[in-house]
Structure 1
């Protein structure tokens, strides 16, 4: 190029300055996103110095996760109004991604806490503990057979996805009146623990106070073993057990291979005592 000045760069020079590969510039030219200022008949291509500004715009939009086609469309029709509209939508998207990451972190933290609790606690031994209040997202179980029960639990899992503070596996609730009748496999509610209180009729509080709890390995889909051991332990100490018995599933299919290695924490509030 006879009239070439210091304001123009070859493809190689331009790529080195911008820290990209020559192939990137060729690709951008091919799709019509970013082309050289000059193309000579002999195939030489030259970029004008101020094209660096446009390229930096492309890089900035790529960092925001915009695909090249969207970047191309925006650059061809850019305006302050279009930019504000685009940034508003991008900000909402980032907020959704942040919330998703927070949810993932809650899940990880809860699963780690569950495994740590199982490692520390004696298995199949009832004990008295002091519990802080917790909030539970609950769903009623009205089915009387396993098939429909599974469907209702699946619906609960879908429901909990609407709540940003939901943590961990699904727990279940049995009633003392059923257990006293020898009905050990009847669950009246399932629940998911929430990080904090939520405004919903489906949220109930598990009150703070004293609970007898037992970590039970070898989940048999009924409460007979833990119920009998906890009841005996409570009677020996003069405690009256509450109406709701809770099962927090701590080790399940996510961490162990079979039901025989599942671990649940069975817990019931108590009062009285000697």
Structure 2
């Protein structure tokens, strides 16, 4: 054998910028075997095999499984190869669509975080304009605000309902305190999950409601949505002091879920928002 007419494992690997171990593995599984293996176990490849390995590595870049690549290389059937590549394109298109949706959810969560004024002190009322928002709301069958387990189950029911429209609850969630309750027991009546503007769910689900843009009196606090009585009383007193009154239902929104605050673990960073109008 004239070794000058062949490439060693190291030479073939270097030519294609892969490791020796990769070539040895391909030999082991029968995907790409050397032209010659001598009695000492040394592998030698012919120059004609260079293009074969190049094609294998190209197909691998298309994320085709090695067993599929092996079939293409061994069968050498152009029509079969075209069919496999068309199927792979469908898989890639589906992955791209999924990634686009995932990026949209990331953008929506960042949009939620952009609404947070981290310079605003906690437990202090302030006024701000809030744009129109839509949310899916599920009313309580009974007062469950004191029952954390039941409340979480209700939240998950709302999440599931949103998910039935192929949406992810990336814009926040919380509870609704009806306008009339702001004058009585301050108890929430529903859980809600924000939904993106323009989503089909807004037109098709009777559970979706839209709050118009409004001037709101707000307060950040650490705790749990629905554990808000003290903060609500403080906020309502501030509203009255400034010559305003509640104009619509209040929202208790979970902005950051399970954070650490002043030694407390697993508390939520929440925002109370009450639409207001001049008396």
More deviation, 255-264/20-29: 255-264
Counterpart CA distance in 2 for 1:206 and 1:157 is: 19
Counterpart CA distance in 2 for 1:220 and 1:89 is: 41
1:167 aligns with 2:173: no
Q: Deviations over 1:29-63 (max 9, x none)?
A: 11111212333445342223243333233333333
The two structures have a TM-score, normalised by structure 2, of 0.79
The correspondence for 1:223, drawn from 196, 221, 228, is: 228
C-alpha contact 2:173 2:253 (8 A) present in aligned 1: yes
Q: 1:265 Cα deviation (Å)? A: 1.0
Structure 1 residues 252 and 95: CA distance shift in structure 2, 3 A: closer
Q: Deviations over 1:93-150 (max 9, x none)?
A: 232134334434543x257546x52x31122222221122223243333354424332
C-alpha contact 1:176 1:245 (8 A) present in aligned 2: yes
Q: 1:260 Cα deviation (Å)? A: 9.1
Structure 1 residues 185 and 85: CA distance shift in structure 2, 3 A: same
More deviation, 14-23/50-59: 50-59
Q: 1:164 Cα deviation (Å)? A: 4.5
Q: 1:76 Cα deviation (Å)? A: 4.0
Match of 1:91 in 2: 93
Structure 1 residues 156 and 48: CA distance shift in structure 2, 3 A: farther
Q: 1:163 Cα deviation (Å)? A: 4.3
Q: Deviations over 1:134-187 (max 9, x none)?
A: 2324333335442433212122234445544642442221112223221x3433
Q: Deviations over 1:187-242 (max 9, x none)?
A: 31322x33432111143323212111122345584332232222223323332313
Count of aligned positions: 266
Instruction: Report the 3-state secondary structure (helix = DSSP H, G, I; strand = E; otherwise coil) of the residue aligned with 1:124.
Output: coil
1:148 aligns with 2:150: yes
Match of 2:258 in 1: 253
Match of 1:103 in 2: 105
Report 1:1-274 matches (<5 A). Answer: 1-2=1-2, 6=5, 8-77=6-75, 78-104=80-106, 106-107=108-109, 109-110=110-111, 112-113=113-114, 117=117, 119-145=118-144, 146=147, 147-161=149-163, 163-164=166-167, 166-182=169-185, 184-191=186-193, 193-200=194-201, 201=205, 202-219=207-224, 221-256=226-261, 258=264, 262-273=268-279
The two structures have a TM-score, normalised by structure 1, of 0.81
C-alpha contact 1:137 1:204 (8 A) present in aligned 2: yes
Structure 1 residues 131 and 104: CA distance shift in structure 2, 3 A: closer
Structure 1 residues 48 and 260: CA distance shift in structure 2, 3 A: closer
Gaps in structure 2 of 5+ consecutive residues? none
Q: Deviations over 1:46-85 (max 9, x none)?
A: 2232433332333333334344334334444542122112
Aligned Cα root-mean-square deviation (Å): 3.0
Structure 1 residues 112 and 177: CA distance shift in structure 2, 3 A: closer
Structure 1 residues 91 and 73: CA distance shift in structure 2, 3 A: farther
C-alpha contact 1:141 1:190 (8 A) present in aligned 2: no
